[in-house]
Every structure is written in C-alpha cells, then in structure tokens.
Amino acid sequence: ETGVTQSPTHLIKTRGQQVTLRCSSQSGHNTVSWYQQALGQGPQFIFQYYREEENGRGNFPPRFSGLQFPNYSSELNVNALELDDSALYLCASSWGLAGSYEQYFGPGTRLTVT
Amino acid sequence: AQTVTQSQPEMSVQEAETVTLSCTYDTSESNYYLFWYKQPPSRQMILVIRQEAYKQQNATENRFSVNFQKAAKSFSLKISDSQLGDTAMYFCAFMNGEETSGSRLTFGEGTQLTVNP
C-alpha cells in the first residue's frame, strides 16, 4: 500500500509568481486536506476536498485554490505569491470525513518565496 | 472557533525517563476528537495517539498515554521509558466530531522534545 506522496519536495519561487503543489492520496482515500506550516509553528488548515468537492476552507485568501481529481489526488495552487507564503505545505488523506478515520500525512513540500 | 494551546515550547528528558507534555484547548462543542502528532526532522507528521471526547477512559498506545480532563479542557501526553527516537516536535490537535463539519485539524504551536542519552 503506497502512502501519501507530495511533489515537488522543495521549490523556490519569486514573489508574484504562481505555484502548483501536488498530492497523491493513499490508496482508497477519498478525502484530502491541505495545511500550511510556517517555520516554528503548527500547521494551519487551508482547505479540504471530499470526493472532488471542496468541503471546508480555513482563513486563507482566494489566491489559494485547489482541485481534487477522480483518482482523489489533489493540487494546491497559489497565485501572486507573497514572501509570507514561504512555508512547508502538508497534505493529508483519509477514508472519509469522520474523525474516527486517521489522517495520513505526506512528507510535505517546502516552498521558498524570494 | 476552537483553539489549542501548548505552553511548553521546548522540553528535554533523559533516555528511559518519563516526560509529560501539556495541552489545553477551548471549544463549545461536545463531540470532538483530540490527537497528539509527532513530527521528526524528516517532517512527516505521524499520529501518536487519539482520544474521543465521549470516552472517559484515557487512551494508551504502548509507551504513550494521555490524561484527558474534559471539564478542565486539558489533554496531556505522557511518554514513558523515553527513547532517542522520540526526539521530535509534538503537536496537540483538535477535530470537531460532527462529520458535517469536515475533518479539519486545529493544531497547537508544538513542543520540541529532546531525549538525551
């Protein structure tokens, strides 16, 4: 059984550019959540996708957008990058929405905005 | 909105000893879950232990156990017989138990635990 994978591992972008991060959920998982983890802080919830539909969003501006594909993999897109977007981006997948389902995290994508 | 607070930014313990990490939370919900996650330098977040709020019995997973005080909104993690591999950042997290709310996690700021040989 393949775990949650994310690509790329590291990424350096310039302020104002756009970036796409990718997440492959664990086999059979239909729910993907994205989190932003700034250096030295706990992860902050960005949004969640359940069966290809957005199912909840945290306090992030509209330039953070996402997508979930029929195979339940997911993308996080960030437009008009700002310096404060520099962070570790984590995705997590699970069997469903209930808290009884464990969320499995990927290794993250480290984004640096210069 | 829920909040999770970890008041110990850093802690250290000698190998084989016991250490307790503190966490408090604030919520008006009655149905929820609490978690402790471990994030080693490899960055991958790993679930350590989970507690359902409706269960009075404290969760235990091998060397890891929790002290869940629902009225006080306190959720501490005890690590017994600490091992060098326990060195990591530990995060306390909250999840609303209603499925209609989704399964978003609210994390605390984290506690960096160092186990010394």
Q: What is the dihedral of CA B94, B100, B103, B108, to 10 degrees?
A: -30
Q: Which residue of B has its CA nearest to A102?
A: B47
Classify burial at A27, counting beta carbons within 10 Å of its beta carbon; exposed 0-12, middle 13-18, buried 19 or more: exposed
Q: Are B99 and A90 an interchain contact pair (Cβ–Cβ within 8 Å)? A: no
Q: Is A110 a residue whose pLDDT tops 60?
A: yes
The DSSP symbol for B106 reads E
Average confidence (pLDDT) over B1-17: 96
The DSSP symbol for A31 reads E
A97 close contact with B: CB closer than 8 A = yes
Q: Is B102 a residue whose pLDDT tops 80?
A: no
Average confidence (pLDDT) over A5-14: 97
Nearest to B114 by CA among B75, B82, B74: B82
pLDDT per residue as tens digits for the range A26-80: 988 999 999 999 999 999 999 999 999 999 999 999 999 999 999 999 999 999 9
The amino acid occupying position A93 is S
